[in-house]
């Protein structure tokens, strides 16, 4: 179910435009509006799920699909060989600003550690 006023639900159902970069059965990938790396996309479930903390045991197949789809998308975009970073900001201290679960896929430059 789409959540009213959720920007990523609106992207998933086409109400808000986004540069789509791929789709799986339960997920879509699109370019981040404010990229933090030469390649920066977001992978989201089509169905609303507020954050990883809101996922239930029954969501384990969906969570697995998000990662395998991220891996496939990275390969399709040609960044898999050099490498990439997946990030799931969760909750306030995690820096989550959009409350629809999303996996950041960042690539195209050397990442540093620790993150800010
Ligand atoms: P968070 O901080 O919640 O982990 O990341 C949210 C991400 O969503 C940010 O990187 C931000 O640039 C991106 N974002 C926010 N609004 C939009 C939008 O309307 N379209 C797209 N493509 N990305 C967005
Ligand atoms: Zn949503």
21-48 tens-digit pLDDT: 999 999 999 999 999 999 999 999 999 9
Residue 14 covered by a domain: yes
- Is the pTM value of this prediction over 0.75? yes
Domain that holds residue 13: 7-107
How far apart are the CA of 104 and the centre of ligand 2, in A? 16
Residue 26 covered by a domain: yes
The total domain count for the chain is: 1
Say what the pLDDT of residue 116 is: 86
CATH number at residue 68: 3.30.428.10
Residue 74 covered by a domain: yes
DSSP-assigned states of every residue in 10-48: HHHTTSS---EEEE-SSEEEEE-SS-SSSEEEEEEESS-
Which atom of ligand 1 sits closest to the CA of residue 88? 4
Residue 49 covered by a domain: yes
Beta strands at 84-87 and 39-45: parallel, antiparallel or unpaired? unpaired
Contact, 5 vs 99, CB < 8 A? no
């Amino acid at each position: 179910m789409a959540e009213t006023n959720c920007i990523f639900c609106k992207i998933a159902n086409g109400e808000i435009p986004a540069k789509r970069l791929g789709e799986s059965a339960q997920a879509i990938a699109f370019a981040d509006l404010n990229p933090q790396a030469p390649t920066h996309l977001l992978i989201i479930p089509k169905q609303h799920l507020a954050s990883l903390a809101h996922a239930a045991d029954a969501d384990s197949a969906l969570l697995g699909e998000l990662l395998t789809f991220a891996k496939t998308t990275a390969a399709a975009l040609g960044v898999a060989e050099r490498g990439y970073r997946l990030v799931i900001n969760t909750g306030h201290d995690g820096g989550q600003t959009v409350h629809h679960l999303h996996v950041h896929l960042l690539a195209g430059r050397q990442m540093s550690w620790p993150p800010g």
